[in-house]
A and B are shown apart, each in its own frame.
Chain A
Amino acid sequence: MSSLVLKGVGKRFGGLQAVTPFDMEIARGKITGLIGPNGAGKTTVVNLITGVYKLSSGSIKFGTIDLTEAPRHEVARAGLARTFQTIRLLPDATVVANVMIGMYRHQKASLVSQLFGLPSSRAETRRFRDEVYHLLDRFGMTKYADYPAGALSYGDQRRVEMMRALALQPEVLLLDEPVAGINEIEAAKLGEIFRKLATEGQGMAVLLIEHNMRFVTSLCDYVYVLDSGILISEGSAEKVVNDPVVVKAYLGDDEDA
């Protein structure tokens, strides 16, 4: 069981220490939480993992694969998928087309066969389409298959983004505030899906970045807390929520009250 291991990972933007070097392990079969107040550096961590930013220090390893210097597309090919805090779909493309692009990692047909539409390439496209419809079915989105993604409601757009990440059949899933702006009932439904992704079959390593404390405590097996780029607490959800340092970071000092 390989997990994603961050060692001494830090990021400095000029004079600003955005993330102070810290260690983190995102284990397979588990949901790992990353929480912290606004501007704590949570999304920066995801961007460091996925190769959007270069690390200022430390290393990132996924099993035996070294991802420290890997550019974005190689990180994805290694099996890491992410969603974005602000939804980033291809607005003009249909829902099916959006999710299809997630299948890119599994493309085996050679460039030549794609160029001339040889049978191997066409068969692959058909197979991808079938798999995409499976995913749509699972998320209850089949009726929107040919809908331009940009015209969907906010919650449905989130779902499309999730399906796109899952189309990669990733081993590590990085979810950047996946339930932001979604009501509690819908969020709970998505939470169940995340739980299944982590525990069913081979089991993915899921990293959940979230503001919603209740959502985090109900789902996560292990939680890291960032504040101003510094790791201030880690442990089981219960332990972390009751940690005075965390309470202080979220609610401020007692003395102010």
Chain B
Amino acid sequence: MLDLIAPHYPLLDLIFIGTGYALSQAIVFRAGTFSVATSGFAALGAYCTAILTVKAGWHPALGVFCGVLLGLLSGLLLSAPLARLRGVYQAIASLAFVEILVALILFFEDLTGGPLGFHNIPRVVTPWMLFIAMVATMALLIVLGKGGIGRAFDAMRQDTPVAASLGVNPTKYHVLSFALSGAIAGLFGGLDALRNFSLTAEQFGFSILIATLSAVVLGGRRAVWGPLVGTTILVLLPEIFRPLADYRQAVYGLLLVLVMAFLPFGVYDTIAMKLHNRRLIRAGMLKPKAGS
């Protein structure tokens, strides 16, 4: 059995880390903020961990811990200007944040290796560690989603003024969602750095931002399982479609379009809703819609 899985370890790594990033993205969505800053937080976590581990000679675990703290802190800072914006303007501002970070990484060559990248990072992270980090993060998000924080996030996402009229302080939960998003992305950025021997600025640029966003849209935005499902599909898809390697990007794009058109809530959430409705119909509380 192990022989079957072992060659695919790199794929598992990608799924676990990608899911971590997607969870960081999903948490701000859940709180109703259209921010795409996740890859920026991840870059901060990754470079912080790499610099502390390689240049300062710290223990890798301590490096990752500082990466989490840096992600959390930058999340707190970024939440202030983004709180003044709405919808697509938040997306543009957070995109600018990511691009500025990438530019800074390229600029500070002494610290980051600049365009040549940051190399000779010890590879100390195993797939198991990534798996545990992913499960722990999912568990945290499931638990907090079931309590008062989840209720406040849900209310804010659907109608912020109404949430406020019920006593929810929007600023507090906006800041909280960014702190969580930053910490989660910082964690997986740090782990990513300790897995891959090297880091480059492009790794955290526009393409990963799109991949993370796609994973959340594809998998589903509401349930914590959505990001895992979405990331898994996106990682495995190119493998399954190897015969179509030349058309990989086209297949990928087509799939996203199809999902958005026919499963607007993402794969997981749509199925969960269908099952929920079916249960209601069975219980006689909902009339079956014609054609479904």
Contacts and interface: CB of A to CB of B under 8 A. Distances in A.
A50 B144 CA distance: 29
A76 B164 contact: yes
Interface in B169-224: 169-170, 176
B170 A114 contact: no
A12 interface: no
A144 interface: yes
A92 B223 CA distance: 13
B155 A90 contact: yes
B169 A73 contact: yes
Contacts of B140: 115-116
Interface string B2-19: 000000000000000000
A58 B237 CA distance: 64
Interface string A76-102: 110001101000101111000100111
B276 interface: yes
A114 B158 contact: no
A101 B159 CA distance: 12
Given A116-B140, A147-B280, A93 B149 contact: no
A124 B150 CA distance: 14
Contacts of B279: 146
Contact of A117 (B147, B162, B176): B147
B166 A125 contact: no
A114 B141 CA distance: 11
A150 to B, nearest CB: 10
Contact of B143 (A72, A101, A117, A144): A117
A178 to B, nearest CB: 15
Contacts of B286: 147, 151
Nearest to A88: B162
Contacts of A90: 154-155, 158-159, 162
B285 interface: yes
Interface string A150-181: 01000000000000100010000000000000
Contacts of A109: 147-148
Q: Which of A104, A111, A116, A146 counts the most chain B CB atoms within 10 A?
A: A104
B55 interface: no
B272 to A, nearest CB: 12
Contact of B147 (A81, A92, A121): A121
Interface residues on A, range: 35 or more
A143 interface: yes
Q: Which of A72, A84, A121 counts the most chain B CB atoms within 10 A?
A: A72
Given A93-B158, A101-B154, A146 B166 contact: no
Q: Which of B152, B161, B168 counts the most chain A CB atoms within 10 A?
A: B168
Interface string B211-245: 00000000000000000000000000000000000
B165 to A, nearest CB: 5
Given A76-B167, A93-B158, A114 B147 contact: yes
Nearest to A143: B285
A180 B146 CA distance: 35
B144 A115 contact: yes
Nearest to A100: B151
A164 B148 contact: no
A231 B140 CA distance: 54
B151 A111 contact: no
Given A52-B161, A72-B164, A92-B158, A104 B152 contact: yes
A72 B155 CA distance: 14
B138 interface: no
B133 interface: no
A90 B140 CA distance: 24
Interface in A111-138: 111, 114-117, 121-122, 124-125
Contacts of A146: 276, 279-280, 285
B163 interface: yes
Contacts of A242: none
A64 interface: no
30 contacts: A50-B165, A72-B164, A72-B165, A73-B168, A73-B170, A76-B164, A76-B166, A77-B167, A88-B159, A88-B161, A88-B162, A90-B154, A91-B158, A93-B158, A101-B151, A101-B155, A101-B168, A104-B155, A104-B166, A104-B167, A104-B168, A109-B148, A114-B148, A117-B143, A117-B144, A124-B147, A143-B285, A146-B276, A146-B280, A147-B280
Q: Which 8 A-B pairs have the closest CB atoms?
A: A117-B143, A76-B167, A72-B164, A90-B158, A114-B147, A105-B167, A73-B169, A101-B155
Interface of A: 50, 52, 71-73, 75-77, 81-82, 84, 88, 90-93, 97, 100-102, 104-105, 107, 109, 111, 114-117, 121-122, 124-125, 143-144, 146-147, 151, 164, 168
Given A147-B280, A147-B285, 5 more contacts: A92-B158, A93-B158, A101-B155, A111-B149, A146-B280
